[in-house]
């Protein structure tokens, strides 16, 4: 149950899996995030929305420890991860499917999955499970990253994140540049993951499609949160759409 929906009878709200508070950050002297706050509950699918250049990728990079936070706090599963290195953040249970996929050209599919496998959190995801989710990857398991199509690279990027057995899976524009059928493959995968209870933070341009998937939405505008709500609220609120139109 999400904290917002806790009734007085149900006791105190469940602590969030991810709680970002008054986060400031950017790239050196370039300030991009101006005090943003949002939370992702356990088992929740949360969409981070906003036009190009509004700070979504910078938020993800800051969560992952790739960009230093200037101030503010990132709590993950009850622990402060604000100042942790990327390796330590992954070890705590965050994993990202990065913008542009970033698969290694000279590593085979199988080598990617073996190299990134982290045995923990019940060790749910193994190379075999990833191949069940994406049979195409099994067929291509001995091929190098550079020999894969864009869609196959995207499946591998998702598989590589899942194989770390993350508590929170983050996807930054996972459908970007994909043909419609491949996009649907990504949505199918996200729907399955959501149904299995995986917590997900997703950034994507296909807002209408996200509305069928996400429990909550946070809209960023110039590095600040300008709107938050669920899919029904987003559907109904014209103000929110003004932040999303190009
Ligand atoms: N390496 C960098 N150095 C300096 N500024 C950067 C860098 N990368 C991004 N920015 C700036 O930070 C701001 C936010 O960019 P960011 O990539 O976080 O936006 P976004 O919401 O993810 O948009 P997009 O969909 O275009 O990726 C933009 O003004 C961008 O120009």
ipTM score for this prediction: 0.96
Give the nearest ligand 1 atom to 60 CA: 18
Mean pLDDT of 45-64: 97
Of 28, 57, 59, the residue with max ligand 1 atoms within 8 A of its CB, to mutate for a pocket test, comes to 57
The per-residue pLDDT for 124 is 87
Element (H, E) at 42: none
Which region among 112-121, 167-176, 191-200 has the lowest average model confidence (pLDDT)? 112-121
pTM to 2 decimal places: 0.92
10 — pLDDT class (breaks 50, 70, 90): low
**Percent helix / strand / coil, the chain, rounded to 5:** 35, 25, 35
Residue 167 Cα, ligand 1 centroid: separation in angstroms? Answer: 26
CA–CA separation, 44 and 150 (whole Å) = 28
Q: What are the pocket residues of ligand 1 if the criterion is a CB atom closer than 6 Å to any ligand atom?
A: 27, 30, 32, 50, 52-58
């Amino acid at each position: 149950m999400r904290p917002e929906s806790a009734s007085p009878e149900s006791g105190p709200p469940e602590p969030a899996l991810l709680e970002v508070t008054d986060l400031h950050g950017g790239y050196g002297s370039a300030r991009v995030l101006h005090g943003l706050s949002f939370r992702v509950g356990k088992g929740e699918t949360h969409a981070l929305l906003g036009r190009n250049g509004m700070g979504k990728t910078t938020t993800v990079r800051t969560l992952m420890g790739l960009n230093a936070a200037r101030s503010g706090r990132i709590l993950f599963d009850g622990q402060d991860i604000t100042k942790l290195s990327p390796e330590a953040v992954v070890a705590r249970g965050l994993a990202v499917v990065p913008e542009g996929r970033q698969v290694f050209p000279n590593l085979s599919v199988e080598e990617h999955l073996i190299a990134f496998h982290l045995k923990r959190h019940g060790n749910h995801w193994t190379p075999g499970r990833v191949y069940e989710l994406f049979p195409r990857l099994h067929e291509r398991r001995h091929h190098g990253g550079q020999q894969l199509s864009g869609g196959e690279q995207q499946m591998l990027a998702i598989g590589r994140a899942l194989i770390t057995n993350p508590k929170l899976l983050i996807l930054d524009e996972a459908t970007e540049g994909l043909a419609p059928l491949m996009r649907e493959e990504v949505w199918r995968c996200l729907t399955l993951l959501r149904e299995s209870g995986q917590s997900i933070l997703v950034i994507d341009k296909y807002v209408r499609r996200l509305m069928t998937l996400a429990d909550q939405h946070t809209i960023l505008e110039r590095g600040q949160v300008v709107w938050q709500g669920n899919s029904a609220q987003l559907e109904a609120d014209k103000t929110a759409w003004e932040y999303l139109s190009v």
